[in-house]
Amino acid sequence: MRLHKFISANMEAILKEWEDFARANQPTGGDLQVVELRDHAKDLLNNIVRDMATAQTESERESKSQGNSPTSDTDTPAEVHADERLGAGFSIRLLVAEYRALRASVLRLWIKGEALSEPDNPDELEDLIRFNESIDQALAESVGRYSEAVTENSDIFVGMLGHDLRSPLQVLSFGAAKLKNMEDADKSLNQLGSIMIASVQRMKEMLDDLMDFTESRIGEGLIIHRGPADLAEITRQLVDEFRSAHQDHRFEHVVNGDCSGHWDASRIGQICQNLISNALQHGDPQGDIVVGCEARKDQVVLTVNSRGKPIPESQQQDIFELSSRKHVEKGNPNKNLGLGLYIVRELVMAHDGKVSVESTQSAGTTFTVELPKN
């Protein structure tokens, strides 16, 4: 009997072995019922049977072997099964083990029942290949869905954590400001207040980056609200703020032309703030930082230049990626989460702009942001 016909004829026996395996390996304290233990297994097996019974060309076989199986707008039984197993507390290791056990059960029952009467029968060899292809495809769908769900849940948790930390941080900020401004307090208390304010501001910047990172990974990306904005004025205010807080650096602000456009002013300010913070963190201590705005025909260009150890050319294309943090100096006590440049890129892209970097020993490191005016 062909394997796909054998599966259909012996569905109950196969499902019983699936159920027994799931029951024996369910999470500690689990008490899943039969319908839950067999969750979507019958639909999954029926999918495999249909796939095996469908003629397949050599090009389709090759495409499937490379993980390019046809996609569907609806969830597959394997994807729904992953959702249910995640909800029931199964680990991804147990999820994979279920498919391994299913593969072994089907083949053992088939060989036992049919005894492969014709070992050289090409149909039987084809059935083995097609069955393994289908199992591997279902496994890939389940693991992919499980991994996506775990990542999304983690991102949601991080987002909630970042949001909830803002309230105690605000209380600390109020207390630090009060210490700093107490006229009858010891001078050391006033200094402590100033240090606390700087630390709180630094923590706030990290939380802002963390929240934006989470927002960019769940939902539809970073949200922007466009309106009239003047990049020259935004950068001037930020340079003044950084100049007062970092008196060991010399800040220069250069403006050429009308640098107004149609952007989200707060988000543009965030781009500038992250680039200046990056220059402070990775540039020379007490070095010069030059922030420039230049109006062009259809766009405005923002540049932030600083001196310091240049970024190797091989890394300049990767520093905006989360997977690459090689430009962050190891052992740097001021090192943060490393999300700043990633957030810059996401915000620039949300404004249909471009961001790039050039870094040499002679000219220093210059980040350039090109923003369309409209």
Structure tokens at 22: 């799931």
Convert the pLDDT of each residue in 152-189 to its tens digit. Answer: 766 666 655 665 566 667 667 777 777 777 777 677 77
According to the per-residue pLDDT averaged within each range, which of 30-34, 50-54, 342-346, 367-371 is highest? 367-371
Tell whether the model's pLDDT for residue 46 goes beyond 80. Answer: yes
Structure tokens at 287: 């070095």
Sole residue written with tokens 């989460």: 337
* CATH number of this structure's domain 3-162, picked from the four choices 1.10.490, 1.10.3470, 1.10.10, 3.40.630: 1.10.490
Domain spans of the chain?
Answer: 3-162, 165-217, 227-372
3-state secondary structure 238-304: HHHHHHHHCCCCEEEEEEECCCEEEECHHHHHHHHHHHHHHHHHHCCCCCEEEEEEEECCCEEEEEE
Cβ of 371: how many Cβ atoms within 10 Å? 22
- Point out the least confidently predicted range of 27-41, 170-184, 300-314: 27-41
Same fold, 3-162 and 227-372: no
Cβ contacts of 232 within 8 Å, gap of 6 or more: 255, 259, 260, 293
Q: Which amino acid is at 299?
A: Q
CATH second-level architecture of 227-372? 2-Layer Sandwich (3.30)
- Point out the least confidently predicted range of 207-216, 250-259, 339-348: 207-216
